[in-house]
Amino acid sequence: MLAKRIIPCLDIRNGKTVKGINFENVVDVGDPVELGAKYARDGADELVYLDITATHEGRKLFADLVRRISEHLNIPFTVGGGIDRVEDAELLLSAGADKVSINSSAVRDPGLVDRIAGGFGNQFVVVAIDARWREDRWTVFINGGRIPTDRELFSWAREVQERGAGEILFTSMNHDGTKNGFACDALRELAGQLTIPLIASGGAGRKEHFVEVFERGMADAALAASIFHYNEIPVPELKNYLKKNNVIVR
Determine if 65 is a binding residue for other proteins (CB under 8 A).
no
Segment 223 to 242, residues that bind other proteins, using CB under 8 A: none
Beta carbons within 10 angstroms of residue 30's beta carbon: 15
Q: Which is nearer to other proteins, 28 or 162 (CB)?
A: 162
Catalytic site includes residue 11: yes
Task: Tell me: does residue 212 bind other proteins (CB under 8 A).
Answer: no
**Is residue 93 within the footprint of other proteins (CB under 8 A)?**
yes
CA–CA dist 18, 156 (Å, integer)? 29
Span from 29-37, 56-64, 149-157, 188-196 in contact with other proteins (CB under 8 A): 188-196
155 vs 53, 150, 158, 159, CA distance in Å?
30, 11, 5, 6
Q: How far apart are CA 105 and CA 112, in angstroms?
A: 8
Cβ proximity to other proteins: between 89 and 112 the closer is: 89
Residue of 11, 51, 88, 176 marked catalytic: 11
Among 3, 26, 86, 247, binds other proteins (CB under 8 A): 3
Which of 111, 121, 234, 236 binds other proteins (CB under 8 A)? It is 121
Among 94, 155, 180, 231, binds other proteins (CB under 8 A): 94
What span, in angstroms and rounded, lies between the C-alpha atoms of 24 and 20? 5
Residue from 12, 20, 45, 128 binding other proteins (CB under 8 A): 45
Which of residues 14 and 90 has its CB atom nearest to other proteins in the complex?
A: 90
d(CA 17, CA 42): 18
Calpha distance 55→1 (Å, rounded): 43
DSSP 249: -
User: Quick check: 88 binds other proteins (CB under 8 A)?
Assistant: no
User: Residue 99: which of 156, 170, 50 has the closest Cα?
Assistant: 50
> In terms of Cα–Cα distance, which of 183, 218, 220 is closest to 202?
183
Residues that bind other proteins (CB under 8 A): 1-5, 40, 45-46, 67, 70-72, 74-76, 93-96, 98, 120-124, 166-167, 194-197, 220-221, 250
Active site residues: 11, 130
